[in-house]
Amino acid sequence: MTQKTILRALAGETLDTPPIWMMRQAGRYLPEYRATRAQAGDFLSLCYNSELAAEVTLQPIRRYGFDASILFADILLLPQALGADLWFVTGEGPRLSTITTPDELKALKPVEAIHDTLNPIYETVKILSRELPSETTLIGFAGAPWTVATYMIAGKGTPDQGPAHALKDADKPTFEALLDLITDGTIEYLSKQIDAGAEVIKLFDSWAGSLKGDDFLNYAVKPAAKITAALKARYPDTPIIAFPRGAGEKYVGLHADIGADCIALDDGVTAPWAAAHVQTGGCVQGNLKSSHMVTGGDALVTETRAIVDAFKGGPHIFNLGHGITPDADPDNVQLMIDTVRGA
Ligand code: 1CP
């Protein structure tokens, strides 16, 4: 049976044309997303409305024919399922009740309870596995424990993850117990996504870059490795993409250290460097600056071709180095796709 292109790349195959999808491909830059989000009421209602969440997941597939779709949800639903309060402030972003003391940690729910909240997400996955075109791969995801912990500790997004670093330094046992709880919850959450039909899993460690020295090993690499080991034991055939954003030189060796089939690259490394030092370990994905989706033009075409060229000697999935932003022009996405497929 001919496999889907994304699965072939994740299995280590070098393809003539890299398969392509885009981080945050369902989102505010698309008018059809804004319409469905308005219909749902607010962002969280959209996440928990399985029919509408499936609809916005399908929108970029219909418009562009990407090779993969990513479940529409958010990394902050797991903290909510563990008992944290979660809401979104328009124009500012997420807010959560904070976990910084042993008592607050103890008040969270046990891992087994998360499915009560997260069942609609599994339902979205089931709808998608029925409705996606047969050539499109369905990616499930979660936040990596450190990144999720930074939001649970600070109660919001922070530029330097200061509150999480402060708890790590002031009360390591509480910090590490929180990370362990998130790790165990993530394993159960992702297992249910795979049971429901997710074919690939991606772990987003958006704030891994602020972990220095041994902290990177202990709080980015080890929790991710624990999650991949647990998932591989249960689902040996489900590929895993790890995205330790901002890892820089520490990207080297991560396929093996995390046990991931693919490492996603931000735009802080050059493609030729990553081809020589990271792609040697397995499939890579990412690297194009998201700002090209705003500015477009010759620079987009030149940079897209350069990335395709740099990674042509090994397994590669074309993607951005981070999520597309709401001010992006949908026509620039089409230009990127045409450039990759026509290159
Ligand atoms: O107003 C809106 O419609 C909300 C904007 C939005 C969207 C479209 C948020 C709020 N989350 C999402 C969806 C989302 N989030 C997806 C869905 C699928 C897709 O990619 O198409 C995914 C994979 C995420 C993952 C996510 N959420 C991450 C990791 C990836 C990354 O971008 O670094 C993070 C850090 C979040 C937290 C979050 N959720 C939303 C916002 C604005 C934020 C960032 C907050 C901050 O600035 O720290």
Rounded Cα distance between 293 and 299, Å, is: 10
Ligand 1, atom 32: nearest CA belongs to which residue?
Answer: 323
Say what the pLDDT of residue 339 is: 98
Q: Is 26 in the pocket of ligand 1 (CB under 6 A)?
A: yes
Q: Is the CB of 24 under 6 A from ligand 1?
A: yes
130 catalytic residue (yes or no): no
* For ligand 1, mutation pick of 29, 63, 74, 125 (most atoms within 8 Å of CB): 74
pLDDT at residue number 146: 98
Distance from residue 74's CA to the centre of ligand 1 (Å):
6
C-beta of residue 74 within 8 angstroms of C-beta of residue 121: no
pTM equals 0.97
pLDDT of residue 1: 54
Q: How far is the CA of 36 from the CAs of 21, 51, 59, 90, 223, in angstroms?
A: 21, 11, 10, 17, 35
Closest CA to 256 of 225, 214, 217, 223: 225
In contact, 141 and 71? CB cutoff 8 Å: yes
Token digits for 43? Answer: 């962002």
Tell me how far apart the alpha carbons of residues 111 and 187 are, in angstroms, rounded to a whole number.
10
Catalytic site residue 245? no
Which of the residues 33, 151, 189, 251 is marked catalytic? 151
Q: Is the CB of 76 under 6 A from ligand 1?
A: yes
85 is catalytic: no
From 24, 219, 251, 267, the catalytic residue: 24
Quote the pLDDT of residue 90: 87
* Backbone phi, psi, residue 8, to 5°: -65, -45
Among candidate residues 109, 121, 134, the one with its CA nearest the CA of residue 190? 121
Residue 2: the pLDDT is: 67
Name which of 264, 248, 251, 281 is nearest 203 in CA terms.
264
Q: Is 338 a catalytic residue?
A: no
The reply to whether ligand 1 has any atom less than 6 angstroms from the CB of 204 is yes
Ligand 1, atom 22, lies closest to the CA of: 74
28 is known as an active-site residue: yes
What local confidence, expressed as pLDDT, does residue 343 receive? Answer: 57
Exposed, middle or buried: residue 263 (CB in 10 Å: 0-12, 13-18, 19+)?
buried
Block mean pLDDT (10 aa), the chain, length 343: 90 98 97 97 97 98 98 98 96 96 98 98 98 98 98 98 98 98 98 98 98 97 98 98 98 98 98 98 98 98 98 98 98 98 82
**Distances 103 to 89, 174, 178, 205 between C-alpha atoms, Å:** 27, 10, 12, 26
Q: How far is the CA of 56 from the centre of ligand 1 (A)?
A: 14
Burial (Cβ within 10 Å: 0-12, 13-18, ≥19) of residue 2: exposed
